[in-house]
């Protein structure tokens, strides 16, 4: 089979639902995405590449609906394409978005209904809809508090990080700074949603553990990009800020969801972002049916 970007999908945890909202897609040469070696991508019959052999990742956000709260985890890439040029490749990587607000509308939620955005980190494909492409500083989600870690904010506001093509743009930092709230390990910015520190991909990267009355899930952001990284956590992603820390985080996350039975929510996973991981089963990373 051939991998495709994930479609809108909902997971009911009991009193709390998670909905994956597509914004776009990411395509890359496997050898560019994993320059230290990528053979393990194909070791477990996982569908992670398209018909042309390009690695496929989804780009989007996760909506948490609990009681009267409407909370987004991350904010997509926006209505743009970011080419990720790598010398020596014939098919360069790109990230492309544009459909997040349409996806939100299709599930009956408008931007003004969102009362918080929880940011796993501040890479371009996670903050793109905080503002608009005009860069005028007008927030897309006018009533939302913006939550992130202090380490993440401190890193991206350093002068030397300005202009990073996969970092936040000035107007996005301006919007965040005007309504920023700080997250630390173990805090609950929303009842039933707990912060989990997952550094490595970026210095202050976070995941979010979400609990309902019938189940629980772990939204991992970019701590895990591809399903193969769960089964082979030593796959080294090209964009990880601290590769050794990122590997330790992936090992810890695989152990965690393997032990406690949480649904693994990988917003970049192709085809199905909601999956069960059972290290004792074959296959051991099972997509949940829509």
pLDDT of residue 283: 64
Cα 57 → chain centroid: 10
pLDDT of residue 1: 64
Q: What percent of the chain has pLDDT over 70?
A: 98
Write the pLDDT tens digit of every residue in 249-262. Answer: 999 999 999 999 99
- Check: CB of residue 268 under 8 Å from CB of residue 226: yes
What are the structure tokens assigned to 73, written together? 């985890």
User: What DSSP line would sit under 179-231, residue for residue?
Assistant: SEEEE-TT--SBTTEEEEE--SSSTT-EEEEEE-SS-EEEE-GGG--STHHHH
Would you give the DSSP letter of residue 95?
Answer: E
Write the pLDDT tens digit of every residue in 126-145. Answer: 999 999 999 999 999 999 99
- Check: CB of residue 191 under 8 Å from CB of residue 198: no
pLDDT tops 70 at residue 290:
no
Write the pLDDT tens digit of every residue in 58-103. Answer: 999 999 999 889 999 999 999 999 988 777 777 778 999 999 999 9
């Amino acid at each position: 089979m051939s991998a495709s970007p994930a479609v809108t999908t909902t997971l009911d945890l009991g009193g709390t639902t998670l909905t994956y909202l597509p914004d776009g897609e990411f395509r890359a040469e496997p050898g560019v995405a994993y320059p230290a070696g990528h053979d393990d991508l194909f070791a477990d019959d996982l569908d992670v590449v398209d018909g042309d052999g390009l690695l496929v990742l989804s780009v989007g956000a996760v909506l948490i609906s609990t009681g009267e709260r409407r909370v987004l985890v991350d904010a997509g890439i926006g209505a743009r394409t970011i080419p990720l040029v790598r010398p020596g490749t014939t098919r360069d990587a790109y990230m492309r978005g544009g459909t997040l607000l349409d996806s939100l509308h299709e599930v009956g939620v408008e931007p003004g209904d969102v009362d918080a955005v929880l940011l796993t980190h501040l890479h371009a494909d996670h903050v793109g809809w905080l503002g608009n492409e005009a860069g005028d500083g007008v927030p897309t989600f006018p009533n939302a508090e913006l939550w992130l870690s202090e380490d993440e904010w401190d890193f991206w506001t350093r002068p030397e990080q300005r202009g990073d093509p996969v970092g936040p743009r000035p107007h996005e930092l301006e919007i965040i700074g005007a309504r920023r709230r700080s997250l630390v390990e173990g805090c609950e910015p929303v009842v039933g949603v707990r912060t989990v520190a997952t550094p490595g991909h970026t210095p202050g990267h976070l995941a979010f553990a979400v609990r309902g009355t019938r189940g629980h899930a772990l939204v991992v952001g970019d701590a895990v990009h591809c399903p193969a990284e769960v089964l082979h956590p030593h796959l080294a992603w090209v964009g990880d800020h601290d590769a050794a820390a990122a590997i330790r985080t992936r090992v810890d996350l695989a152990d965690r969801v393997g032990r406690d039975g949480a649904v693994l929510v990988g917003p970049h996973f192709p085809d199905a972002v909601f999956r069960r991981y059972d290290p004792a089963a074959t296959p051991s990373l099972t997509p949940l049916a829509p």
